[in-house]
Amino acid sequence: MTATMRAVYFLEPGKLEMREVPIPEPDAGEVVIKVESATTCGTDLKAYRRGHKLFKPPMPFGHEYAGYISAVGQGVTKFKVGDAVMGTNSAPCNQCYYCKRGRQQLCVELDGRFNFGTYAEYVRIPSYITAQNLHHKPAHLPFTEASFIEPLSCAVLCASYTDVQLGDTIAIIGVGAQGLMQIQLMKAMGASRVIAIGRAQGRLERAKQVGADDTFSSLDGDPLEYVRSQTERRGADVVIEAAGTPETWSQAMLMTRKGGTVIQFSGLAGGTQVSFDATHLHYDEITMKGVFHTTPHKVELAAQMLSDGTVDVKPMLDGEVPLSKVEDSLLRMQRSEVIKLAVVPSMPDN
Ligand SMILES: [Zn+2]
Ligand SMILES: [Zn+2]
């Protein structure tokens, strides 16, 4: 009889199911991980609410993880059973047009190279991820923080697009997990002043806690006007949109000073149209960049930053829950009660 495990499946938007399935076994180059922490993610919530182009249900659910290697496939030399690890959920092919041009996040093979199923007792990690994006977890780093490696690596790629200069003023719209990580990265890159824009005071307090110099609630007025009032009417040198609405995309653009850079970080639903002031874009020489996902180099940097404390993810973690609480956790995220939760499969249900 094959040993089985519990795993959460995504059946369709609004519907998850706990299944009893065989514990996976590794093929050549693969490992199987006993999951110690699988953090909930805004992308999971998006998929659960309205579907997502990268999610093809019915499918195992969850993509952030850290845990112990429980089995290794033939040819794996970097890891052995018992190693504590953390990793991401995809890896590029390194052969296609985009990979060769150094834009591995745009790899044409990427859609077929996403791995899901971390809301489970065990997860199998494909060979290409094991080889490129799985890292040893330092002993001092808790599993619940180590499983931030994937979202942090996306934040690191975003930060690398900003061209922040010493002394810059940065506006960050959105104080979810990504916004809170961006604040820390911008300070680490030499920004003098980071203005965090959000709504709820509790979130803005956390922004301060992780290093924001200034916060503004859009419930108290117009963030655009606020940023202008703080920058001699110029606007911010760099603006990062991490709130994910068409309105904030437009607002981020207007908030950027002449010659400045705006990064559209948050993905919007397929087909969404956003309007911009073409005059501002053209005559004020705004650089607007989209940024998506991550690369193995940024994953490596994220591993290092979690380890050395450049980025502290504790303020984004609102607790630990058992496997049976995945759906409940997503609903709590939707109500903005929590930013992220760590799903810990060894925790007893209650
Ligand atoms: Zn994620
Ligand atoms: Zn590729």
Per-residue pLDDT at 226 exceeds 90: yes
Nearest ligand to the CA of 152 is 1
Per-residue pLDDT at 298 exceeds 70: yes
For residue 236, the cross-strand partners are: 256
Nearest ligand to the CA of 91 is 2
Contact 229, 254 (CB under 8 A): no
| Per-residue tokens: 101 | 């041009």
What pLDDT does 53 receive? 84
Average pLDDT of the chain is 96
Nearest ligand to the CA of 296 is 2
Centre of ligand 2 to C-alpha 262, Å, is 27
What's the CA angle centered on 127, arms 126 and 128, to 5 degrees? 95
Centre of ligand 2 to C-alpha 100, Å, is 7
Nearest ligand to the CA of 45 is 1
Question: Region 197-212: what's the mean pLDDT?
Answer: 95
Centre of ligand 1 to C-alpha 167, Å, is 31
Q: Is the dihedral of CA 60, 64, 70, 76 positive or negative?
A: positive
- 96-149 pLDDT, tens digit per residue, is 999 999 999 999 999 999 999 999 999 999 999 999 999 999 999 999 999 999
The residue assigned the tokens 């049976």 is 324
Centre of ligand 1 to C-alpha 235, Å, is 31
Per-residue pLDDT at 1 exceeds 80: no
Distance CA 33, CA 327 (A): 22
Per-residue pLDDT at 259 exceeds 80: yes
Nearest ligand to the CA of 316 is 1
Per-residue pLDDT at 344 exceeds 80: yes
Query: Which one-letter amino acid corresponds to residue 14?
Result: G
Nearest ligand to the CA of 181 is 1
- 57-80 pLDDT, tens digit per residue, is 999 999 999 999 999 999 999 999
Task: Enumerate residues with CB within 5 Å of ligand 2 (an ion).
Answer: 92-93, 96, 99, 107
Contacts of residues 51-59 at CB distance under 8 Å and 24 or more positions apart, as own/partner, are 51/12, 51/13, 53/270, 54/111, 54/114, 55/10, 55/116, 57/9, 57/10, 57/11, 57/12, 58/9, 58/10, 58/11, 58/12, 59/9, 59/10, 59/116, 59/117
- 233-257 pLDDT, tens digit per residue, is 999 999 999 999 999 999 999 999 9
Distance CA 333, CA 44 (A): 10
Q: Domains of the chain by range and CATH?
A: 4-152+294-343 (3.90.180.10), 162-290 (3.40.50.720)
The residue assigned the tokens 């193995």 is 296
Specify the pTM: 0.96
CB-based burial label for 74 (10 Å; 0-12, 13-18, 19+): exposed
Centre of ligand 2 to C-alpha 96, Å, is 4
Centre of ligand 1 to C-alpha 124, Å, is 17
Nearest ligand to the CA of 113 is 2
What pLDDT does 163 receive? 87
Centre of ligand 1 to C-alpha 293, Å, is 9
What pLDDT does 349 receive? 87
3-class DSSP state for residue 331? helix
What pLDDT does 45 receive? 95
Distance CA 86, CA 136 (A): 6
Query: Which one-letter amino acid corresponds to residue 210?
Result: V
Nearest ligand to the CA of 105 is 2
Query: Which one-letter amino acid corresponds to residue 143?
Result: F
Q: What is the SS3 string spanning 205-267?
A: HHHHHCCCCEEEECCCCCHHHHHHHCCCCCCEEEEEECCCCHHHHHHHHHCEEEEEEEEECCC
What pLDDT does 24 receive? 97
